[in-house]
Amino acid sequence: MDTCILLSEILKENTPRIEKMKNDVNANSVPCYICDSVGRECKEKIESTLNFLGTIVRESVRFGLEEPRSIRGISADSPMTSEDIIVLEKLFSTIHGAVRAIQLPLISPIRIIEEWAIAFLGEKLEQGVSTSIPAFLTELVKKLLALTGSIQDPYDRLVTFETMYAKKISVTVDQPIVDSLCRIDVHEPDATHIASAVAHQVDSHEKTVFVTIDYGSILARQDEIRRLFSCECSDPLYAIYHLTQ
């Protein structure tokens, strides 16, 4: 499985496709594997995203809310108003720009925090309930911790402890195959991921399908990869049919 499949499972994205694959796997007793390079990439993407959430987002929101008030001589303990929501609008716009600039791997957690923040404050304003910036930041930290857990826990179940439907596998990757994949514009680490699937197919003498939803780099070259390496690459919707043909 490609990194994007693991991340979809962890973040509950592309659910119909992932559930179709899992149902096919269970119904046909098909083993699923996570190669070393996919495990490493998934871990790195999750760690960088959680670090961004825990430091940059939290501190940016605190500074972004407190600084304009400090300039105007308004206490952070004064009730938040719709003006603070407009401040957050501009702040999250800046954060999204930073996310694009640094190419943060996982974008959806940032959107989740933004949507929660505005919904939380909007509800308080509608109910006429006073909320100070410190009180809001306390709730923000709680939400960040809960979101972190909702990402880290399924990652641990899927990858670290292998308690779900996939198992980790170590194979010796053939560097010439990696180089050949790079020459047809399958970039790293995708080239190593696919080369791992090729190596597993050769070592195990079992037909292997590399499952991905990466249409830009991998599935656009599906036929060429099959021709060069006799390895199937497939969207999870169709993986079982490639395996059984």
Q: Is residue 166 scored above 90 in pLDDT?
A: yes
Q: Do 179 and 129 lie in a common domain?
A: no
Q: Do 98 and 142 lie in a common domain?
A: yes
Q: Do 187 and 101 lie in a common domain?
A: no
Other CB atoms within 10 A of residue 56 CB: 16
Q: Do 135 and 83 lie in a common domain?
A: yes
Asked which of 90, 122, 154 is the last residue of a domain, the reply is 154
Per-residue pLDDT of 131-163, as tens digits, reads 999 999 999 999 999 999 999 999 999 999 999
Say if 179 falls within a structural domain: yes
Q: What is the pLDDT of residue 139?
A: 97
What is the rounded average pLDDT for all residues in the chain? 95
| Contact status, residue 233 vs residue 217, Cβ threshold 8 Å | no
Average of per-residue pLDDT across 27-44? 97
Q: How confident is the model at residue 56 (pLDDT cuts 50, 70, 90)?
A: confident
Q: Do 131 and 208 lie in a common domain?
A: no
Q: Do 200 and 229 lie in a common domain?
A: yes
Q: Cα–Cα distance between 218 and 236 in angstroms, integer? A: 13
Rounded alpha-carbon distances, angstroms, from residue 114 to 124, 171, 231: 16, 41, 42
DSSP code string of 33-84: EEEHHHHHHHHHHHHHHHHIIIIIIHHHHHHHHHHHHHHHT--TTSPP-HHH
Q: What is the pLDDT of residue 104?
A: 86
Per-residue pLDDT of 198-215, as tens digits, reads 999 999 999 999 999 999
Q: Do 60 and 144 lie in a common domain?
A: yes
Total domains, the chain: 2
Rounded alpha-carbon distances, angstroms, from residue 192 to 41, 157, 237: 11, 24, 23
Strand partners, 215: none
Say if 35 falls within a structural domain: no
Boundaries of domain holding 187: 3-30+171-244
Q: Cα–Cα distance between 48 and 147 in angstroms, integer? A: 14
Joined together, the tokens standing for residue 154 give 């399924």
pTM of the model: 0.91
Q: Do 14 and 51 lie in a common domain?
A: no
Say if 166 falls within a structural domain: no
Asked which of 154, 186, 214 is the last residue of a domain, the reply is 154
